[in-house]
Structure 1
Amino acid sequence: MGMPRDIKIIDCMLGIPEAEDRSEWFAPFRPLIKDQQTLSQFAMPAQYMFKDIPQTGTVDDFVSWTVDQMDMYNIDKALVGWNDNATSYRAKEMFGDRFFFDLPIDPNRGMEEVRRIKRIHAEVGLSAISCFPAGTLPQVAINHKYMFPIYACAEELGLPILLNAGIPGPRIPMETQKVEHLDEVCWFFPDLKVVMRHGAEPWEALAVKLMLKWPNLYYSTSAFAPKHYPKAIIDYANTRGADKIIYAGYFPMGLSLERIFSDMQNVPFKDEVWPKFLRENAMKVFGL
């Protein structure tokens, strides 16, 4: 059977645009980029990987517009990045039942960042924190000592951490995101829920091996059109990993919801996997 139509979907990576021009989403790591094609031609640094990047056009209210897009595809709730600005506060105030929030963090800020996480969590009620290791400046690896105060803070607060793993899409070095780095983190923080983002390729088989090893390690499908979900991940979800694989999209950063859910019809998950993948695993991991 294909994807059921009656599941209220939870999308664990969705964005609320600030404006028609979304280049500010990628500003923090733009100084790392050296190739002229990216700097002069791309609206987003990984544009070479995506075709038909969604265009919003002129919109008066991006928060309401985003909810309208979710409604068209039966997305009940969406995890979005908290930016500590007017858009984030409006999203929480107007649609607190539709959005839950992760806080993107910078481990280079040390204890100042730990204090910021605690302050925003006390005010907002975060559901996770997140880090793009290859996009930190300077770059900080998943298992680098600068990350350990962040992990300790997340575990203390009971928050999962979302980590980009695998070769980054932007043309920046990959060393910080090698999947093998997760082994040490999951060992040292056994009560910290760690969720991989952005594919873990080309080490997806290692990602599966580590999920078998560590109960606190999960995988989300962010930034991948469903037709490109790694076979190792699909096979794992259909066997021992049904509780470990979580749906996450990439709208409107790189994929349209139309593209995602058109492709999704052909993903060969077993019937019993779909409710967990589309909703139940997110409810469990993020405490919804």
Structure 2
Amino acid sequence: MSVRYESNIDLNAITAIDMHVHLEVDDCGHKAMPEDLFEASAAYFKSAERTPSVDRVAEVYREAKMAAVLFTVDARTALGHEPNSIDDLVAGAARNNDVLIPFGSVDPRTGPAAITEARRQADVLGVRGFKFHPSLQGFDPSSAEFYPLWEALQELGLPCIFHTGQNGMGAGLPGGRGIKLRYSNPLLLDDVAADFPGLTIIMAHPSVPWQDEANSIATHKANVFIDLSGWSPKYFPASLVKMSNNVLASKVLFGTDYPLITPAKWLAAFADLPLKDEVRPRILKDNAVRVLGLDGS
């Protein structure tokens, strides 16, 4: 029987909300991706603990007095590999609902089945949003083929995180293992944001080499945000840091990409950024509270 998630996060007890955390293995030991992709990404990010369990993830964030958005990616069509279990992920988040917030994932290339599964994950499991990786999943989000899915997600009223920019997945492999970077150009999401103004879109990561495009979209579209995961803050593009201090102060969100980057490592570098004191808590927590609807909005 499926477990439904209900949040028990005490907003006064946490200092930050990490919007971007991966669960790469389920309770049966099944990994989210083929082994060569795990090995390549571990080498690219130099990560020590690549596949922590859901309870280990919760332990890390509980000790840090933070909450975390937790997800996997369903890329079964592109990778020929079944995803790890969303039901297990949600059950794990439910037993750690003081610190974890589960997002769902569906493979857009499965057509109507993706819509059916997205509704199940939202209505039955209680996921609080969805994660997509256009390059890994092998699809162009601006294609009309996928508009029925975006319409359904807009109706559900849940935010969607889309990978943008450079890919650690497949990095260093011949042909990048067939993973195409152009699907992660944020300009493709500008079409989706314009045509589905009720859909909250979070562009994951500094969108190198398209950071100016991402900045422009997040400035122009009220329903578009940027999470800061996947890069140490010391490597953030200067334009992103500058705009986070003013016009994008309400549009950028703390994220690490854990387990690829640890919260402690990310926050140590974040402390050195030239940001206004009043902007830091917005990035670390307040903006995410609003985007996730944790304040009842």
TM over 0.5: yes
Alignment match, 1:66: 57
Q: Displacement, 1:166?
A: 1.6
Q: Displacement, 1:107?
A: 0.7
TM-score, structure 2 normalization: 0.80
Contact residue 20 and residue 69 of structure 2 kept, 8 A: yes
Contact residue 101 and residue 128 of structure 1 kept, 8 A: yes
The alignment's C-alpha RMSD in Å is 2.6
Structure 2 residue matching 1:212: 3-state secondary structure: helix
Structure 1 residue matching 2:33: 3-state secondary structure: helix
The residue type paired with residue 80 of structure 1 is: L
TM-score, structure 1 normalization: 0.83
The residue type paired with residue 55 of structure 2 is: S
Which whole-Å CA distance do the structure 1 matches of 2:86 and 2:194 have between them? 36
Contact residue 236 and residue 242 of structure 1 kept, 8 A: yes
Which whole-Å CA distance do the structure 2 matches of 1:93 and 1:173 have between them? 35
Identity %: 21
* Structure 1 residues 219-263: Cα deviation after superposition (integer angstroms, max 9, x where no partner): 0012111212222111111011111000111111x1123322222
Alignment match, 1:18: 25
Q: Displacement, 1:63?
A: 3.4
For residues 260-271 of structure 1, what are the structure 2 equivalents within 5 Å? Answer: 260-271=266-277
Which whole-Å CA distance do the structure 1 matches of 2:131 and 2:50 have between them? 25
For residues 1-288 of structure 1, what are the structure 2 equivalents within 5 Å? Answer: 8-16=15-23, 18=25, 24-27=31-34, 39=36, 43-51=38-46, 53-55=47-49, 62-75=53-66, 77-81=67-71, 84=85, 87-136=88-137, 139-169=138-168, 170=170, 171=176, 172-252=179-259, 254-288=260-294
Alignment match, 2:80: none
Structure 2 residue matching 1:266: 3-state secondary structure: coil
* Structure 1 residues 167-224: Cα deviation after superposition (integer angstroms, max 9, x where no partner): 3223222121112212211111111111001321111011111112111111001211
Q: Name the CA shift for 1:241/1:13 in 2 (closer, same or farther; >3 Å).
A: same
Which whole-Å CA distance do the structure 1 matches of 2:50 and 2:59 have between them? 12
* Structure 1 residues 85-137: Cα deviation after superposition (integer angstroms, max 9, x where no partner): 5642442332223211111221111111101110121112121111100111x
Which whole-Å CA distance do the structure 2 matches of 1:7 and 1:99 have between them? 12
* Structure 1 residues 122-173: Cα deviation after superposition (integer angstroms, max 9, x where no partner): 112121111100111xx21121223212211111000111111123223222
The residue type paired with residue 166 of structure 1 is: G
